[in-house]
């Protein structure tokens, strides 16, 4: 079963080649570091004054770049990757052909989901690499190099990767669910981009829910644990809210209609309600 799943996963990767989504994800990771480095080049004298003894340049540059990337360009990558992946089959009308192959619908559905996660992972990893290169470039330009610490913050790097993916599960599951149900990828993009625009507005008004899917992603850098825990409550909320959407999305896709998937029999209805209540209750 595992071998079959990874074959399906590789097949989804072949479909993505013509969408250039991996290249787009990488290009978007360069925007924030480029602006960051350019700003400090123009303010190099002021930047030299900020260099104090044991200045952890890798960690400081990474914290500045990673937070800015997560707040916009990562969300942009998430929306584009999620909307485009499922729509490849809609565009070329290959859904029916795929379902006739000797591959389970579970493999088809979750290999697509895992592909979206892989795009996001590459984006997060690229930010780490680019932040290291940016820090090295700035180090070569500063005057008082003796005050600069060249230790790499390995733990923050690993935490950023893992927490970034976990915090994204809720957003990916929601947008992926919508993308699978509607053939027009513009609809998914409108919802995804609309929420990106609405988030700062609602936040300024004090009306942004703590469980809002993009806010959970922003908490990766904005709301770290005060007691040194690797994952915070925001990460667990993302998992608890992602599971119902993944379950509903999969069974709806598998059985084609909402009625067949959830309410055709009393047992199905009770199980569906119980799943939603349990996981939303845990999130609450």
Residue-wise pLDDT tens digits, 218-228 = 888 776 666 66
Name the DSSP class of 19: G
Q: What is the percent of the chain where pLDDT is above 90?
A: 25
Residue-wise pLDDT for 22-69, tens only, equals: 888 999 999 999 999 898 888 877 777 778 888 888 999 999 999 889
Token duo for residue 264: 């055709």
Instruction: Outline where DSSP puts E strands in 74-165.
Output: 148-149
Instruction: Outline where DSSP puts E strands in the chain.
Output: 55-56, 148-149
- pTM as predicted: 0.87
Rg (CA), the chain: 21
């Amino acid at each position: 079963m595992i071998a079959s799943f990874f074959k399906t996963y590789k097949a989804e990767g072949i479909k993505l080649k013509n969408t250039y989504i991996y290249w787009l994800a990488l290009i978007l990771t360069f925007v924030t570091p480029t602006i960051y480095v350019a700003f400090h080049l123009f303010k190099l004298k002021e930047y030299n004054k900020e260099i104090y003894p044991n200045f952890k340049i890798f960690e400081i540059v990474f914290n500045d770049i990673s937070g800015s990337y997560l707040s916009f360009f990562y969300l942009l990558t998430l929306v584009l990757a999620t909307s485009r992946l499922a729509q490849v089959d809609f565009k070329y009308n290959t859904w029916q052909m795929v379902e006739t192959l000797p591959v389970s619908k579970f493999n088809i559905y979750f290999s697509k989901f895992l592909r979206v996660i892989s795009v996001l992972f590459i984006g997060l990893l690229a930010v780490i690499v680019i932040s290291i290169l940016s820090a090295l470039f700035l180090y070569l330009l500063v005057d008082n190099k003796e005050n600069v610490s060249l230790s790499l913050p390995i733990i923050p790097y690993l935490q950023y990767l893992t927490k970034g993916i976990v915090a994204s599960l809720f957003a990916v599951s929601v947008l992926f669910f919508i993308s699978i149900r509607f053939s027009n990828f513009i609809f998914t993009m409108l919802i995804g981009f609309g929420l990106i625009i609405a988030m700062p507005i609602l936040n300024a008004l004090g009306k942004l829910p703590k469980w809002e899917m993009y806010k959970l992603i922003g908490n990766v850098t904005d709301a770290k644990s005060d007691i040194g825990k690797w994952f915070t409550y925001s990460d667990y909320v993302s998992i608890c809210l992602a599971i119902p959407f993944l379950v509903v999305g999969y069974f709806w896709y598998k059985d084609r209609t909402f009625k067949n998937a959830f309410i055709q029999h009393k047992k199905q209805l009770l199980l569906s309600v119980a799943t939603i209540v349990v996981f939303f209750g845990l999130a609450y």
